[in-house]
Amino acid sequence: MAKVKLPKHIYEFYASGSDSQSALARNENAFNRLCIRPRVLIDVSNIDTSIEILGHRCSMPIGIAPSAMQKLAGGNGELDIARAAVKMGLNLTLSSQSTTALEEVSGTREHGLMDSLPPPPFWMQIYLYEDVQKSIGLIHRAEAAGYQALILTVDTPVLGNRLSERKTAVVLPEGMGLPNLDAAKPKSKAQPSLNRQLMNARSAAEAQSLRDKAGSKMHSSSLTWEKTINFLRSVTKMKIILKGIMTGEDAFLAVQHKVDGIIVSNHGGRQLDSASSTIEALPEVADAVQKAIPVILDGGVRNGEAVFKSLALGADFVLIGRPALWGLAYKGQEGVETVFNIMERELNRTMALAGTRNVEEITKDKIGVIAKHGFGVSKL
């Protein structure tokens, strides 16, 4: 329904991956190799899907992933998604490239809550500029507005080669801006971001020239573990979560540098096309972390069974991005609520049929992997 309602280039902006879109396809298809090993004769008359993440209780082990410029998808954009999250007790991460001011989105946490539950946690996603000092203002705004965690995206030293965006650049229509970014001032002519212009560079020299002209306005390609984490710790008391961890080596370093959580993510298949799927990367990451910090997964989660499999394989929480946008495009806040009502019913039903009464009982012994050769299912 979203595909029918949205302009073709806007739908493709959200739906597409990079290059041949192999990583995008792997994210969803890899779940098919996993099957659930159901247990029976267990009283599953009362299923509890709630979970605690970083000290906050959520109605489901599902949060809404950050995605840019949500007013392009429809309705009231970020406000519709935020209101749905609050009403349903769901964690939300706001993109720094949102078309609604972060303060306005945060204000929704105090309204519309059901059953007198505490407001769900809201997190703020950020890219650091080459001159990290230019990011301090946004970080302080997010902290002052009550966001509990800062999500640093670490997998974008450059943007992936997104062919759909190169064919038709996405620009904001008149009257729509990016109020969280200092650079988002009215322009005489709408144009793609500097980072997207870099995708069209025809040579290394042209790319470097564009970087030189842009200076500190580009996403940083020089972040390092020691320097970057120390900088963030010096400017905020918010929890720090790194988004874009895909290896055990980096997961181990995240624990060593005392970040508060990591997100196993390949940017929805929009960055390195030869990256593995996130569910395939998850066991290695979870083994490296050994429950020292929360491990969150995004990418390819399209139903309640995929949520179950992610938790069983070692994730503490999952984030869902594109389905929320499709709900927004379909019917604003009501459409977003519809998507997550479907997710809740699917997860609840899957848990009951698998013989698990709460999220804590979704453990590795509940899933198996279908043999690539021969016949049968192997326990993990």
The domain spanning residue 83 has which CATH number? 3.20.20.70
The pLDDT of residue 371 is 86
Tokens 């298949």 belong to which residue?
269
Q: Is 66 annotated as a binding residue?
A: yes
The pLDDT of residue 205 is 87
CB 336 within 8 A of CB 80: yes
Bridge partners, 243 (sequence order) = 153, 263
Q: Is 310 annotated as a binding residue?
A: no
Instruction: Say how many Å lie between the first and final Cα of the chain, rounded.
Output: 38
Q: Which stretches within the chain are classed as H helix?
A: 2-5, 8-15, 22-29, 78-88, 102-106, 136-144, 163-167, 194-199, 204-214, 225-235, 248-256, 278-289, 304-312, 322-354
The alpha carbon dihedral of 41, 45, 46, 49 has a sign of: positive
The pLDDT of residue 189 is 55
Q: Is 239 annotated as a binding residue?
A: no
The pLDDT of residue 188 is 45
> In a 10 Å sphere around its CB, with 0-12 CB exposed, 13-18 middle and 19+ buried, how is residue 31 labelled?
buried
Q: Tens place of pLDDT for every residue, the chain, 380 residues?
A: 999 999 999 999 999 999 999 999 999 999 999 999 999 999 999 999 999 999 999 999 999 999 999 999 999 999 999 999 999 999 999 999 999 999 999 999 987 555 556 889 999 999 998 889 999 999 999 999 999 999 999 999 888 888 888 888 888 888 899 999 855 454 545 566 677 777 777 888 877 887 777 766 668 888 999 999 999 999 999 999 999 999 999 999 999 999 999 999 999 999 999 999 999 999 999 999 999 999 999 999 999 999 999 999 999 999 999 999 999 999 999 999 999 999 999 999 999 999 999 999 999 999 999 988 888 888 88
The pLDDT of residue 298 is 97
Tokens 């946004």 belong to which residue?
138
Q: How far is 103 from 138, CA to CA, in rounded Å?
A: 11
Q: Which domain holds residue 328?
A: 1-379
Q: Is 321 annotated as a binding residue?
A: yes
Closest CA to 101 of 179, 208, 160, 214: 179
Q: Is 170 annotated as a binding residue?
A: no
The pLDDT of residue 185 is 52
Q: How many domains would you assign to the chain?
A: 1
Residue 158: both structure tokens together:
């450059």
Q: How far is 327 from 223, CA to CA, in rounded Å?
A: 35
Active site residues: 267
Residue 195: both structure tokens together:
């980072």
The pLDDT of residue 308 is 98
Q: Is 373 annotated as a binding residue?
A: no
Q: What is the DSSP string of 49-61?
A: --EEETTEEESSS
The pLDDT of residue 112 is 52
- Phi/psi for 153 (5° steps) reads -80, 120
Q: Is 265 annotated as a binding residue?
A: yes
Q: How big is the chain by its Cα radius of gyration, in Å?
A: 20
Residues making up the chain, counted from first to last: 380
Q: How far is 52 from 120, CA to CA, in rounded Å?
A: 10
Q: Is 322 annotated as a binding residue?
A: yes
pTM: 0.93
Q: How far is 119 from 75, CA to CA, in rounded Å?
A: 23
Residue 245: both structure tokens together:
């961890």
